[in-house]
Structure 1
Amino acid sequence: MKIVILGCGKVGKTILEQLVVEGHDLSVIDRQEDLIKRIGKTYDVNVHYGDGASRKVQIEAGVDSADMFIAVTDSDELNLLCCMIAKKTANCKTIARVRNPIYNDEIMFLKEEIGLSMVINPEYAAAKEIARILRFPSAIKIDTFSKGKVEMLEFKIIPGSPLCDLCLSDMSKKIKGQVLVCTVQRGNNVFIPNGNFILKEKDLISIVASHENSKQFFKNIGLNTHQVKDVMIVGGGRIAHYLSKDLLSAGIKIIVIEKDEKRQKELEKLLGDTGRFNVLQGDATNQEVLIEEGIDYCSAFVSLTGIDEANIFLSLFAKSRTDAKVITKINRISFDDIVENFDLGSIIYPKFITAEYIVSYVRALQNGMGSNVETMYRILNQKAEALEFKIQPGSPVIGIPLEKLDTKDNVLIACIIRGIDVIFPNGSSVILEKDYVIVVTTLLSGFKDIKDIIKG
């Protein structure tokens, strides 16, 4: 597809990086000349220096022949205006990043009146991801397939876990619960394990299962499956606003600590006095503030300040004092391998969540252009990929036992969804037309069709 991206900040650059892997024809616009020059030297994309609100600049970037225009600058209003110009110029699909909570209740109106194909709010998406984790706190990350029929959960094997030193071929006998271990990250290495693989303490693993079976599996290995009862949030920005609103609706008690008094009062006014929500003005980098407000007794701790380093140290402090579920927001720090070595609980990267939403939309759009990817997630700290394919008539994988299917290395057919049935396949299993198939791979090669998993 031919795609024009406006804005090369952290979100735009992350989207660009993932779409480059997908093999799209990309043009990028930004009004920071030094930045656009670096992008041009680093990636195989067309770069254009200028103001994206100019129709002339958009046409120079090729919007008049583009399939899609993505606006992800720091200005909501600029993104909306540029999408409207692109839509009028080319009638292409348009995606706008819109962050202000004022617009959140008007998304449908904006989509209809401006002709937007998609509106993405990184803070809202991050808040939904955090809320999902807090409802199942033993998981580090939770992704869903086939409208919730199947879940993929990531978690770390803790000391003393019955999974320690367990051979995968023995797992179903020793630990009841129908699940499949898809991937294992050990240090910087990621494996798609076979039956002889032995799990170790501190392994980060991903499993697929139905919701009921995943809950039972977690219970059987001694991990908590109940949502948290109360949450301490540090930082009262947009994510905290959206998250608090979501958690309050679930009956969870919340305390927010915000350094800026003006923002503290704004948040208090936005969410009101429910008896279960308390927003305090204070500097959470002062340990005494956290101790005084009850960090030692909270069920969950979420660090959402605008400074990555502060979030890391706050989470490390929480880990040192409590067994609470800890969630850490990281926005800018790119030393992923170093960050992963810290015990920060669940790490939330809003830029990756945003990119994942947009890449998933692009792939869904391609369904009418020869692709059959329904859902896509990056897992294990962006080191592996899980894709859901819908099997179309005439697919070369239909009717062939999986043991005779010559799939590429580092590819696993993890699950087959057939109607209401969730099937964890073995060598004799076959894929049928209209099935949904979940594939896990460490190749990150931008599969667009189920046939892409076959060698040759």
Structure 2
Amino acid sequence: MQIIIVGCGKVGRTLAEQLQEEDSDITLIDVSANVINSLQDDIDAMGIVGNGASINTLMEAGVDKADILIAVTGSDEMNLLCCLIAQKTGHCQTIARVRNPIYGNEIGFIKKRLGVNMIINPELAAAQEISRLLRFPSAIKIDTFSRGRVELLKFKVLPEFGLDGMTISHITETLKCDVLFCAVESRDQVSIPGGNHMIHNGDNISILASPVNAATFFKKIGLKTHQVKNAIIVGGGTISYYLTKALLDMNISVKIIEQNTARCETLSDLLPNATIINGDGTNRNLLMEEGLPQTEAFVSLTNLDEENVFLALFAKTISNAKLVAKVNRLAFDDVIDNLDIGSVIYPKYITSDTILQYVRAMQNSIGSNVETLYHILDNKAEALEFAIRDNSPVVGIPLSELNLRQNLLVGYLNHNGVVKIPRGHDTIQVGDTVIIVTTHKGLRDITDILEK
């Protein structure tokens, strides 16, 4: 597959790294020669220094033969223009990153009239992920499948749960909860576990379950399952705006602390039901005055990763709040994950996963589409949802009789809107969606779950 990426910042780099593993031919376009040269040191891709909205630059990149053009520069207008010119010059699919809330109500028009196939808004996607976490604060991370009917929830095993030393099969038999343990991250290994896998305190566990069954499971092990009632957000950027709108709709009271006076005035106009505080969100006294010790959720969304991490660490020492921190730079994600500061949001990963599932869907071969895709287990595994469009070698055969690949789990079946954890006698049918968790990267079609 021929893919052109315009804009090689954090999102562009992350995309290029992941698409390189998809056996795609990648061409990178950026106005900075230094950026292109740096990327080409790490990625096997063709690099062009130039303006991605220039017809000559796009022709040099091979837009007339490309399958997809992805525009992820820092400018919404530039991204849309790149896609428009690509549509007029070639016959490729186009994806644009569009972040400004002004365009939020015009997405339908943009896609229909400008011919942009997909619009991705990293800030809105990040806000949606945070709002899910505040609805279910016990989870470190929540990913959704089947339009919310199934969730992939990650949580840390604490001593008070009484799970230390128990096998997964013993836990499910004892608690009688319809949840599927699909991933375990311990200090020394990352795995997709079997029933005999032993759980230990400190492990990070990912489970697949319906929202109701997940809530029942968490109640039985003693974790809070109710959404928070109030939240303090530090930083008044675009993510904060989207997040506050969502939280207010959930009847969660919100305080935003923002240093820029003009931005405070704008937020006050846009969010009249939120409390907007003009001040320095890193000021300890201000945080104490605004009730940080009593708040149920604390979200740090400044433009500095260091500030967000340190604010979360500080909040952890003086409150029992659900903590969420935004991190943009990906180079130190393993260090940050070890700090145990609650939930860390990486908007760049959210964006790249969304685009990657679109690319995988275009590459399907036998009649099943990748509907949803998430990278999990510190990017060492994937959770995918396939929609079964046509007959294939996996249809109509009991799962116990399929020659499935190692380190692969068939997690959930959605048949006519009814979701369940499949057993050995269950079969995949045309019209179903099926969730797969695996350490094998690059699955594009449901038949890829079979041993070759």
Per the TM alignment, residue 381 of structure 1 is displaced from its structure 2 partner at its CA by 3.0
Aligned equivalent of 1:454: 450
**TM-score (norm. length: structure 2):** 0.96
Per the TM alignment, residue 188 of structure 1 is displaced from its structure 2 partner at its CA by 5.5
CA distance in 2, matches of 1:402, 1:369: 19
Cα shift readout 1:7-58 (whole Å, capped 9, x = no counterpart)? 0000111111222112222111111101111222321222111111210000
Aligned equivalent of 1:93: 93
Answering whether residue 294 of structure 2 is matched by residue 294 of structure 1, we say no
In structure 1, the gaps of 5 or more residues are none
Aligned equivalent of 2:149: 149
CA distance in 2, matches of 1:198, 1:430: 29
Per the TM alignment, residue 252 of structure 1 is displaced from its structure 2 partner at its CA by 0.9
Cα shift readout 1:354-404 (whole Å, capped 9, x = no counterpart)? 111111222233347865322211123322211112335442223444334
CA distance in 2, matches of 1:430, 1:107: 38
Distance 1:103-1:430 versus aligned 2 partners, 3 A rule? closer
Aligned equivalent of 1:352: 349
Answering whether residue 419 of structure 2 is matched by residue 422 of structure 1, we say yes
Cα shift readout 1:206-241 (whole Å, capped 9, x = no counterpart)? 111122111111111111111110000001111101
- Give the letter for the 2:347 counterpart: P
2:349 counterpart SS class:
helix
1:122-161 matches, within 5 Å, as 122-161=122-161
Distance 1:79-1:251 versus aligned 2 partners, 3 A rule? same
1:27-176 matches, within 5 Å, as 27-176=27-176
CA contact (8 A) 1:363 1:371 kept: no
CA distance in 1, matches of 2:189, 2:284: 36
Per the TM alignment, residue 429 of structure 1 is displaced from its structure 2 partner at its CA by 3.7
Aligned equivalent of 1:403: 400
2:269 counterpart SS class:
helix
- Give the letter for the 2:443 counterpart: F
Aligned equivalent of 2:9: 9
CA distance in 1, matches of 2:312, 2:380: 23
- Give the letter for the 2:442 counterpart: G
Aligned equivalent of 2:429: 432
1:381-392 matches, within 5 Å, as 381-392=378-389
Aligned equivalent of 2:279: 282
CA contact (8 A) 1:376 1:387 kept: yes
CA distance in 1, matches of 2:210, 2:125: 23
**TM-score (norm. length: structure 1):** 0.95
CA distance in 1, matches of 2:19, 2:119: 18
Please say which of residues 35-44 and 201-210 is displaced more in the overlay.
Answer: 35-44
Per the TM alignment, residue 336 of structure 1 is displaced from its structure 2 partner at its CA by 1.8
- Give the letter for the 1:354 counterpart: T
Identity %: 51
CA distance in 1, matches of 2:125, 2:9: 18
CA distance in 1, matches of 2:13, 2:368: 24
CA distance in 1, matches of 2:154, 2:173: 22
Aligned equivalent of 2:300: 303
Per the TM alignment, residue 285 of structure 1 is displaced from its structure 2 partner at its CA by 1.6
In structure 2, the gaps of 5 or more residues are none
From 356, 373, 377, give the equivalent of 1:376.
373
Aligned equivalent of 2:268: 268
CA contact (8 A) 1:154 1:380 kept: no
Distance 1:308-1:368 versus aligned 2 partners, 3 A rule? same
1:296 counterpart SS class:
coil
CA contact (8 A) 1:383 1:442 kept: yes
Cα shift readout 1:400-445 (whole Å, capped 9, x = no counterpart)? 44334332221111222222433323344433343322111123x2
Distance 1:113-1:399 versus aligned 2 partners, 3 A rule? closer
Distance 1:441-1:110 versus aligned 2 partners, 3 A rule? same
Per the TM alignment, residue 333 of structure 1 is displaced from its structure 2 partner at its CA by 4.3
Please say which of residues 96-105 and 343-352 is displaced more in the overlay.
Answer: 96-105
Q: Give aligned pairs, total.
A: 452
1:219-238 matches, within 5 Å, as 219-238=219-238
1:413 counterpart SS class:
strand
CA distance in 1, matches of 2:264, 2:388: 51
Distance 1:307-1:62 versus aligned 2 partners, 3 A rule? same
1:382 counterpart SS class:
coil
CA contact (8 A) 2:30 2:50 kept: yes
Distance 1:118-1:393 versus aligned 2 partners, 3 A rule? closer
Per the TM alignment, residue 101 of structure 1 is displaced from its structure 2 partner at its CA by 1.7
- Give the letter for the 2:415 counterpart: R
Hey, which bits of structure 1, 4+ residues long, moved more than 6 A?
Answer: none
CA distance in 1, matches of 2:357, 2:240: 25
CA distance in 1, matches of 2:106, 2:80: 13
Per the TM alignment, residue 148 of structure 1 is displaced from its structure 2 partner at its CA by 2.3
